[in-house]
Chain A
């Protein structure tokens, strides 16, 4: 009877079942109840996730696309062409990341003053959201920071701490993108350098290496060598680290 609700029974079995139910009050009652539950399942309206979910998905997709551009390697080509291709990929990735980061920076600068949530109120909200258990809420906090045209040192420090210690890779990635806007700030620059050996999630490592390589930051050489020599480092990350080292 239960199977009949989700799959087509052979006609002989179905007929036997129907004949039995006609003569059995207990089974007829059971079927009425099962049919009631079955209709409830079929008509139960689903809940809809908030718009943040799609926004975060697109953010992850963009990060992955950026990582993929630099991770792609021709497998069966001559060394010469491989080197040419690698150079082109690196250049494209560098331009791509630079374009994304500078575009985000320019986008923020172009926004009207009305969208700047500066002041102690928004700082408080940001710090409170960063302590939330939910990763979505913490990403919201990072987005608040992005809305600030000139966040103070406390906000920058909170972003650095989150980049280094948040348990969720997507939150760390969002922080990284946010901090990249302030790459000219010596404190942020040093924090990004110090963060590289702490990162273990491949996608965060790749984006951070690309950013620091583009910044021509010589202090990451040691970290890159450690990443390359670590047996646990995924191949894609090693490739990016080796390319980064070569461009230093």
Chain B
């Protein structure tokens, strides 16, 4: 059980941000993070190290938690036009830059948004994303290229 506390300490902020970038809603993101850790506690015995590393297993549960939420809401993820972007502090760039980025991410389709969040914010490698999404690495690369180019267009169009 102490390992679970360590795990929570290590990942709770990162996973909260994962949900926040997908939902743009801090309260919902806290709920989803809480549900995710509930599932981790409850189903930790189902983790099979031979089937992949723990991080992949955890993100798989995180994705399912988010998809279940979307089904419950009977809507696909919000766009950033539906909700205020999270307040992000400035760190080298103007706050406007980060808000523009959040808006652009919110305008992507859900599949592209998830890819960007997993790769660029959560730091998952293409191989990990491929396992998670049950795609080939080549397919992930193709989709990522499209997503980044779409994001670039949406971001710079705002200037």
State whether A46 touches B17 (Cβ < 8 A). Answer: yes
Q: A2-B145, A34-B152 are in contact. Are A170 and B38 (CB under 8 A)?
A: yes
Which residues of B in the span 2-27 have a Cβ within 8 Å of any Cβ on A? 4-5, 8, 12-14, 16-17, 20, 26-27
Query: Is the CB of B1 closer than 8 A to any CB of chain A?
Result: yes
Q: A7-B125, A49-B12 are in contact. Are A64 and B156 (CB under 8 A)?
A: no
**Chain A nearest CB: distance from B13 CB in Å?**
6
Residue in B34, B88, B151 whose beta carbon sits within 8 Å of that of A135 in the complex: B34
State whether B17 touches A47 (Cβ < 8 A). Answer: yes
**Chain A nearest CB: distance from B14 CB in Å?**
7
Residue in B30, B35, B120, B145 whose beta carbon sits within 8 Å of that of A50 in the complex: B30
**Chain B nearest CB: distance from A178 CB in Å?**
18
Complex contacts, B4 vs chain A, CB 8 Å:
61
Q: A54-B12, A170-B38 are in contact. Are A37 and B101 (CB under 8 A)?
A: yes
State whether A134 touches B152 (Cβ < 8 A). Answer: no
Query: Is the CB of B84 closer than 8 A to any CB of chain A?
Result: no
**Chain A nearest CB: distance from B21 CB in Å?**
9
User: Which B residues contact A (CB, under 8 angstroms)?
Assistant: 1, 4-5, 8, 12-14, 16-17, 20, 26-31, 33-35, 37-38, 41-42, 86-93, 97-98, 101, 119-121, 125-126, 141, 144-145, 148-149, 151-152, 155-156
A48-B30 Cα distance, complex, nearest whole Å: 10
State whether A60 touches B37 (Cβ < 8 A). Answer: yes
Find the B residue at minimum CB distance from A38: B120
**Chain A nearest CB: distance from B143 CB in Å?**
11
State whether B31 touches A40 (Cβ < 8 A). Answer: no
* SS class, residues of chain B in contact with chain A: helix
Which residues of A in the span 17-35 have a Cβ within 8 Å of any Cβ on B? 30, 33-34
Size of the chain A interface, CB-CB below 8 angstroms:
40
Query: Is the CB of A3 closer than 8 A to any CB of chain B?
Result: yes
A213-B149 Cα distance, complex, nearest whole Å: 61
A52-B33 Cα distance, complex, nearest whole Å: 11
State whether B89 touches A45 (Cβ < 8 A). Answer: yes
**Chain B nearest CB: distance from A245 CB in Å?**
24
Find the A residue at minimum CB distance from B87: A47
**Chain B nearest CB: distance from A7 CB in Å?**
7
